């Protein structure tokens, strides 16, 4: 018999999915604002004319596809109460946060900045939900007596 899924597990699932969706939004914005990103990158470099600008779009799309597919698999196992999936999903959300900080280093357009800040807040909330006491109990690692 499968234990009742706590509300915090459902919330953590939705927050992890939202973190992935924010990655998708960032990938879409990378396509839309490609020229602005290249200009922002070149503005901070003294060798901008001699060095080819990075290809932001393929990297963003590839990252989104890989992260989204991995998240789908991890979320399905996490919802089944597998602790290893909870740990790996937490690591994935943290990696999304690190990637978001990398975006902030490039002096992005204002809309990127807003989305990045919201994304970081969603990432933090997802990790908190994934490590909540009720979530750990659901995955079989918490104190069941409490």
Give residue 36's pLDDT.
86
Which pTM value belongs to this model?
0.86
Give residue 146's pLDDT.
45
Give residue 143's pLDDT.
58
Residue matched to tokens 């204002």: 110
Cβ distance 31 to 62 under 8 Å? no
Mean pLDDT across the chain:
89
Give residue 3's pLDDT.
60
Sites in the chain below the pLDDT cut of 50:
1, 145-146
Closest-CA residue to 20 (of 99, 81, 135): 99
């Amino acid at each position: 018999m499968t234990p009742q899924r706590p509300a915090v597990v459902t919330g953590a699932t939705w927050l992890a999915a939202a973190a992935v969706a924010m990655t998708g939004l960032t990938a879409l914005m990378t396509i839309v604002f490609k020229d602005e990103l290249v200009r922002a990158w070149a503005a901070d470099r003294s060798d901008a004319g001699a060095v080819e600008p990075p290809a932001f779009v393929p990297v963003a799309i590839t990252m989104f596809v890989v992260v989204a597919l991995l998240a789908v698999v991890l979320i399905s196992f996490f919802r089944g109460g597998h602790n290893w999936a909870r740990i790996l999903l937490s690591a994935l959300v943290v990696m999304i946060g690190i990637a978001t900080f990398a975006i902030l280093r490039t002096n992005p357009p204002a809309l990127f900045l807003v989305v990045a800040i919201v994304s970081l807040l969603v990432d933090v909330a997802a990790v908190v939900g994934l490590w909540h006491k009720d979530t750990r109990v659901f995955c079989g690692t918490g104190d069941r007596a409490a």
